[in-house]
Chain A
C-alpha cells in the first residue's frame, strides 16, 4: 500500500487542509489551481500572464490562507518559473507551474531540459495567441511548436476535464515507465475565464488515487549523484531513445490511468482520443479543445437529418494516437481535421500528424483552419466543415486546406 499523498514522509504531518468533495461553479483557471491543491503539490513557481493569471492568484490565495503549506516561488519570469520547478522537482518535490503564449515561448529553452531530466512536472497552458501581432485570445500556436520538446501534451474540452487532467497528469507523468512532464491546454477565456459546474473530489479521495511522488534520481546529500552533466556523444543518443520510449510507454499508462480514474470518480475520458458517433460514420471530423462541444451538437443535428457524421476528440497530441486514429478512421470515407494553429506554408499541425498517421489510406483528409487569433467558431462554421466533407464524399472536394471564415480567402 502506498502511503497517503497528503502526509509528510517522516513526521506524518498533514500538508493540506482536508478538502471535502464538492460541486463548484468555477473558471478553468480556478479548476487548474484547485486541482494542483488537491494533487498536493509541494512547490509552485509561476509568473503571471493573461489569461493564466487567475491560476497564479488562486494558488497564492490558497497559500496565504494556509490551505496548503506548499512553497510558492514568485519568480521574475517564466524562464525562471520553469528553471525553478526543474530544480524543485530534481530535489524530489512534486512541482507545478502554469503559463500561456509568450510565457511558454520564453520557457522554451527549459522544456527539453525538464523532459531530458525526466522530471514529471505538470503545467496547464492557457492556449493564447502568440505575437506578432500581440493578442490574448485562444489559439494553439503557443503549444503546438512545443510538441518536440519531450513533453506530453493534451487539450481539454471543459473545466471538469481541466481539473481531472491535472490530477491524472501527475499520475501519468510520475509513472516510472513514463517520467515525462505534461502540459495541458485550456482554451483562453472560453475555459480560463468562463464558469462551469465542476465536481471536485475530496482531498482524501485524490490522495488515495495519487500516491506521493517517488523520484528515481534525486538531489540527496546522503546519496550524491550528478544530474544533467555535460555529456559526450557516446551517451546522448541512447538518452534520446529512452525519452522516445517513455513517450511511447505513456500511451498505455494514459489508458490505465483514465480507466482507474473512471472507476474511482465516474468520469471516463477513454484514453488518448474520444469517439462520438463514429461507428457507421462516413465523414469524421477530428477536433481539439472546446470546439468539440459545438461539433457534438452539429453531429446530433446532422444525424437527425440522416447524415452519417461523427467526430473524434483528439485529447492527446503527444503521445500521438496514430494507431487509435487508424483504427477509428478505417471505415470513414472523408476525414477532416480542425486546427487552431498553422505550420506556415504546410497546414495545421494536427492535420500534418493525422495525415502521416493515415499514410496508405486512400481517402481525402481535409484540414480546417479556424478560430485562429481567438476568432469565435460558431455553429455555422462547424456545419460548414461537415458540409465540405460531405461534398468531398461526393467527389466535390475543392481544396485540401480550408481557411474557415477568413477574409479574402475562398473556403
Chain B
C-alpha cells in the first residue's frame, strides 16, 4: 500500500498518553489502519496497555482485551478459536513488548506458533521493560544502560548481546515472519497488508525507539530507527515457512558508532565497547547476507 492510499479511518486514536516521540503508537495506529474494523486486539502488560487506555479513556476503536503479561500467545489463541468455532471472520492480533515476547511470554508465543494458530502476533521492540522503569530485557543491546544494568565501577552496563527473537520465530517455520521499522514505512505497510491476507501464525517484529528509555531527543525517533537499519543493528526481512523471501540491504552501511551517538543509554561507551558492538553487528550481517560487510 502507498502511504497516500492509507485509509483515513482511525482505530487507535489520538488522546492516548504515550510519551512524545514514542514510536509504539505510530506502529499501532498505522497497522490498525490496514487491519481495519474487523479486528480484535490483545495487549499484555506494557507501555501500550497503559497509554492506550486507562479506564474510562480508551484510545481503541476496535474490541480490545487484556488478561496478563506472559500469555499473549495463548490469550489470542483462545479468542481466535472462539471466532473460528462461531464462524466469524475476525482478525485477532496480540501486540506485546519485547519483555512480553523475548522473556516472560516466549513459552506461550512458541506454543501458539507451533500450533499455527490463526493470529497475528506483533512485537514492538523498545529493547527494555519500559513500563516498569527501563529494566533490561533479553532484547536490550550489549552495553546499554538500563536501571538494572547501570554502568558501574565494575560492570559497564549490560554484558550480553541482544537475543535474536525474529530468528527464533523463523525457526518455528510459521507462515509468515517479518521484521519492520516505521522509518521504512512503505515496507512496513506492505508487510502488514501481506500478513493480513495470510492464514495461520504471523509474527511481525517492529523496531520501536523509546526516547524516554533510550534517552534521546524525541524529535529524532524516526532518524534513530533509520540509523538502526542502516547500521545493521536492525535488519528488515520477511520469511515464509522459515525461508527468507526478501531482505533489505542498506545502500550504505554506517558504523554502529553513528547509531549509538545521541542515545543516552550508550553514552558511557568506551572504544572497546563500540568495537564489541560493531563485531556483533558484522557477524549478524555476514550470517544474514551471506557476505562480509
A113 to B44, CA, bound (A): 13
Contact between chains at A224 and B61 (CB < 8 Å): yes
| Other 7 A-B pairs with CB < 8 A, given A87-B42, A110-B68, A221-B40 | A45-B74, A73-B81, A76-B107, A88-B82, A93-B81, A231-B55, A232-B54
Q: Is the CB of A71 within 8 A of B85?
A: yes
CB contacts (< 8 Å) of A79 on chain B: these are 70-71, 74, 108
B37/A76 in contact, CB under 8 A: no
B100 to chain A, nearest CB (A): 12
Complex: A117 Cα to B58 Cα, angstroms: 17
Q: Does B267 have its Cβ within 8 Å of any Cβ on chain A?
A: no
Counting from the closest, the 7 A-B pairs by CB-CB distance are A87-B78, A76-B111, A80-B74, A84-B78, A91-B82, A93-B82, A83-B71
A369 to chain B, nearest CB (A): 34
20 interchain pairs, CB-CB under 8 A: A45-B78, A45-B81, A71-B81, A71-B85, A84-B75, A87-B80, A87-B82, A88-B78, A90-B79, A113-B67, A117-B67, A221-B39, A225-B63, A226-B64, A228-B66, A229-B53, A229-B54, A230-B49, A230-B66, A235-B55
| B67 and A228 contacting across the interface, CB-CB below 8 Å | yes
Tell me whether chain B's interface is mostly helix, strand or loop, or mixed: mixed
Contact check, A92 vs B86: say whether CB atoms are below 8 A apart: yes
**Interface status of A70 (Cβ within 8 A of chain B):** yes
Q: Decide yes or no whether B280 CB sits under 8 A from chain A.
A: no
B115 at the A interface (CB under 8 A): yes
- Using known A-B contacts A85-B78, A226-B53, determine if residue A42 contacts B86 with beta carbons closer than 8 Å: yes
A83-B111 contact in complex given A224-B62, A232-B55, C-beta closer than 8 Å: no
Answer whether residue B24 sits at the interface, using C-beta atoms and an 8 A cutoff: no
Tell me if A43 is interfacial: C-beta within 8 Å of chain B: yes
Q: Is B198 an interface residue (CB 8 A)?
A: no
A227 contacts B108, CB within 8 Å? no
Contacts of A70 in B (CB 8 A): 85
The complex places the Cα of A227 from the Cα of B65 at a distance, in Å, of 5
Task: Tell me whether A104 is interfacial, beta carbon within 8 Å.
Answer: no
Query: Once the chains bind, are A84 and B77 in contact (CB under 8 Å)?
Result: yes
Distance in angstroms between the alpha carbons of A226 and B66 in the assembled complex: 8
Are the CB atoms of B83 and A91 closer together than 8 Å? yes
Residues of B in contact with A (beta carbons under 8 Å apart)? 37-40, 42, 49-50, 53-56, 58, 60-68, 70-71, 73-87, 90, 107-108, 110-111, 114-115
A75 to B111, CA, bound (A): 7
Task: For B77, give its contact among A73, A110, A227 (CB under 8 Å).
Answer: A73
| B40 near A219: Cβ-Cβ < 8 Å | yes
Nearest CB of A to B171, in Å: 16
Q: Is A95 an interface residue (CB 8 A)?
A: yes
Q: Which residues of A contact B107 (CB under 8 A)?
A: 76-77, 80
Contact B111 A226 (CB under 8 A): no
Interface size, chain A (Cβ < 8 Å): 47
Residues of B within 8 A of A87 (CB): 42, 65, 67, 74-80, 82
Contact of B81 among A77, A84, A86, A219 (CB under 8 A): A84
> In whole angstroms, how far apart are the Cα atoms of A45 and B63 in the complex?
22
Contacts of A76 in B (CB 8 A): 74, 107-108, 110-111, 114
Given contacts A221-B37, A221-B39, contact A92 B60 (CB under 8 A): no
Residues of A within 8 A of B49 (CB): 230
Residue of B61, B78, B114 with highest tally of chain A CB at under 10 A: B78
Q: Is A133 an interface residue (CB 8 A)?
A: no
A21 to B222 Cα, complex, angstroms = 66
Residues on A with C-beta less than 8 A from B53 are: 226, 229-230
Interface residues of A (CB under 8 A from B): 8-9, 11, 42-43, 45, 69-71, 73-77, 79-81, 83-93, 95, 109-110, 113, 117, 219-221, 223-232, 235
Q: In whole Å, how far is B143's beta carbon from the nearest beta carbon of chain A?
A: 33
CA distance A9 to B82 in the complex (A): 13
Q: Please tell me if the beta carbons of B63 and A227 are within 8 angstroms of each other in the complex.
A: yes
* Structural contact, B65 and A75, CB atoms closer than 8 A: no
Cβ contact of A83, chosen from B40, B55, B74, B87, cutoff 8 A: B74
User: Please, which residue of chain B has its CB at the minimum distance from the CB of A11?
Assistant: B87
A219 & B68 in contact (Cβ 8 Å cutoff): no
Rounded to whole angstroms, the CA-CA distance of A70 and B84 in the bound complex is 10
- From A95, A117, A230, B50 is in contact (CB under 8 Å) with A230
- Determine the chain B residues whose CB is within 8 A of the CB of A226 once the complex forms: 53, 55, 58, 60, 63-65
The answer to whether A43 and B82 have CB atoms under 8 Å apart is: yes
In chain A, what residue has the closest Cβ to B36?
A221
Q: Report which of A83, A113, A224, A229 forms a contact with B78, defined as CB distance below 8 A.
A: A83
Tell me the bound Cα distance from A67 to B62 in angstroms. 35
Please name all residues of chain A whose beta carbon is closer than 8 Å to the beta carbon of B64 when the two chains form the complex. 224, 226-227, 229
- Contacts A71-B85, A229-B55 known; A83 to B63 CB distance under 8 Å? no
Which residues of chain B come closer than 8 Å to A73, judged between CB atoms?
Answer: 74, 77-78, 81, 115
Tell whether, in the assembled complex, residue A91 and residue B68 are in contact, meaning their CB atoms are under 8 Å apart: no
Least CB distance from B9 to A in Å reads 13
Determine whether the beta carbon of B86 is less than 8 Å from that of A224: no
In angstroms, Cα B81 to Cα A93, docked, is 9
Please report the C-alpha to C-alpha distance between residue A232 and residue B17 in the assembled complex, in whole angstroms: 15
Whether B63 contacts A220 by the Cβ 8 Å rule is yes
A contact residues around B73 at 8 Å (CB):
80
Determine the distance from Cα of A207 to Cα of B192 in the docked complex, in whole angstroms.
Answer: 43
Q: Are B68 and A224 in contact (CB under 8 A)?
A: no
Task: Specify which chain A residues have a CB less than 8 angstroms from the CB of B82 in the assembled complex.
Answer: 42-43, 71, 87-93, 95
In the bound complex, how far is the Cα of B113 from the Cα of A80, in angstroms? 13
Q: How far is the CA of A109 from the CA of B75 in the complex (A)?
A: 14
| A residues in contact with B110, CB < 8 Å | 76
Q: How far is the CB of B106 from chain A (nearest CB, A)?
A: 11
Smallest Cβ-Cβ distance to B108: which chain A residue: A80
Residue of B nearest to A232 (CB): B54
Q: Smallest CB–CB gap between A63 and chain B, Å?
A: 12
How many angstroms from the CA of A79 to the CA of B75 in the assembled complex? 10
Please give the distance in Å from B39's CB to the nearest CB on chain A. 7
Q: Which residue of B lies closest to A81 (CB)?
A: B74
Interface centre among A95, A113, A226, A227 (most CB of B within 10 A): A226
